[in-house]
Amino acid sequence: MQSSSPCHEPIVTLEHISFAYGQQPVLRDLTFSVYQRDFVGLIGANGSGKTTLLKMIVGLLKPDLGEIRLFGQPIRQFREWNKIGYVPQRNQLNPLFPATVREVVLSGLYNRKKMFKLVTKADHAKADDALNALGIEDLGNRLIGKLSGGQQQRAFLARALINNPQLLILDEPTVGVDAETQEGFFQMIKHMHQKHNITFLLVSHDRDMMKAYLGDEPAYKHGRIGFHVRHSHDLEDCSQEDLTHGLRDYHKQLAESSV
Ligand SMILES: Nc1ncnc2c1ncn2[C@@H]1O[C@H](COP(=O)(O)OP(=O)(O)OP(=O)(O)O)[C@@H](O)[C@H]1O
């Protein structure tokens, strides 16, 4: 099924992963790989361990047993975190949270070592690109806590996109947003998958939307988690595109078609 062409390099490799919170086992001997240009959707009951798995992949939790490799490197040696965009599960954001959308998006540039640095003109240009890509350029100076759920989601996705990542990891990105916004959001990530070679790892409770794109049958099952997988075969070549610029064009087309 998965060939060894350069478009199909393993991006996330999980080998015999086990994890427990104290005495409570969550994952036991999980082995799975996400390949370049896969769209992997995790579907599973509440508490089945989906968020825990994503947190291990982004290094926030450590497996008790097993090995994780990112872009072919053991996670403990991996330093190229700008290749990965992560949008965690959304908690209720305090409406008084004192950051503007632009500041939130710019914070995506601060990597794990450099927590604070001066924001350059080039950084602002990248933030502009990310805001444009998500169609929220007009929200840059608004306080994030005062926006609707759907607008906040776009802002967090823009933050994840600012480094032009190759892998996007999204944990229930459409929770709390209305059906129409949810549909638009899903269309947008499908576009990123098909046209921009982005690899996705997504947790969503929207089974209908997930299965419509990824199929009913999981490619793999672990406990109560189903791994539904679709590979993007639309593009023949493996060239990388500049994601935020491509998406800006996508939003332009959308705007033009709705006039
Ligand atoms: N920090 C924690 N400490 C102890 N137990 C935890 C912690 N986080 C999660 N758990 C437990 O681990 C199990 C897996 O939780 P996890 O959040 O990974 O599930 P999930 O599949 O993402 O669930 P949901 O669909 O509800 O988001 C649950 O039983 C949960 O209660």
CATH number of the domain within which 135 lies: 3.40.50.300
Ligand 1, atom nearest to 205 Cα: 25
In a domain, 2, yes or no: no
The pLDDT mean for the chain works out to 86
DSSP designation for 100: B
Q: What is the pLDDT of residue 119?
A: 82
CA of 8 to the centre of ligand 1 (A): 31
Tally of structural domains, the chain: 1
Q: Is the pLDDT of residue 233 over 60?
A: yes
The phi and psi torsions of 23 (rounded to 5 degrees) equal -90, -5
In a domain, 59, yes or no: no
Full DSSP string of 102-144: HHHHHGGG--SS--S-PPPHHHHHHHHHHHHHTT-GGGTTSBG
- Nearest Cα neighbor of 237 from 2, 6, 1 is 6
Please write the tens of the pLDDT for every residue from 131-163: 988 889 999 999 998 888 888 888 998 999 898
Q: What percent of the chain has pLDDT over 90?
A: 52
Query: Rounded to two decimals, what is the model's pTM?
Result: 0.86
In a domain, 16, yes or no: no
Ligand 1, pocket-test mutation among 42, 50, 225, most atoms within 8 A of CB: 50
Please tell me the residue having the least CA distance from ligand 1 atom 7.
21
Lowest mean pLDDT among 21-25, 140-144, 155-159, 175-179: 175-179
ipTM, interface predicted TM-score of the complex: 0.97
In a domain, 173, yes or no: yes
Residues 6+ apart with CB under 8 A from 124: 102, 106
Q: What is the pLDDT of residue 244?
A: 67
Q: Is the pLDDT of residue 5 over 70?
A: no
In a domain, 111, yes or no: yes
In a domain, 72, yes or no: no
CA of 95 to the centre of ligand 1 (A): 25
Please write the tens of the pLDDT for every residue from 41-50: 999 999 999 9
Q: Which residues line ligand 1 (CB under 6 A)?
A: 21, 26, 44, 46-52
Q: Which token pair is 137?
A: 């350029």
Ligand 1, atom nearest to 22 Cα: 4
In a domain, 119, yes or no: yes
Q: Domain range spanning residue 142?
A: 38-45+82-257
Select the highest-mean-pLDDT range: 6-10, 90-94, 196-200, 219-223: 219-223
- Nearest Cα neighbor of 30 from 46, 42, 45 is 42
Please write the tens of the pLDDT for every residue from 29-85: 999 999 999 999 999 999 999 999 999 999 999 999 999 999 999 999 999 998 999
Q: What percent of the chain has pLDDT over 70?
A: 83
Please tell me the residue having the least CA distance from ligand 1 atom 17.
51
Please tell me the residue having the least CA distance from ligand 1 atom 5.
21
In a domain, 54, yes or no: no
- Nearest Cα neighbor of 172 from 86, 62, 84 is 86
Q: Yes or no: say if 20 and 63 are a contact pair by the CB < 8 Å rule.
A: no
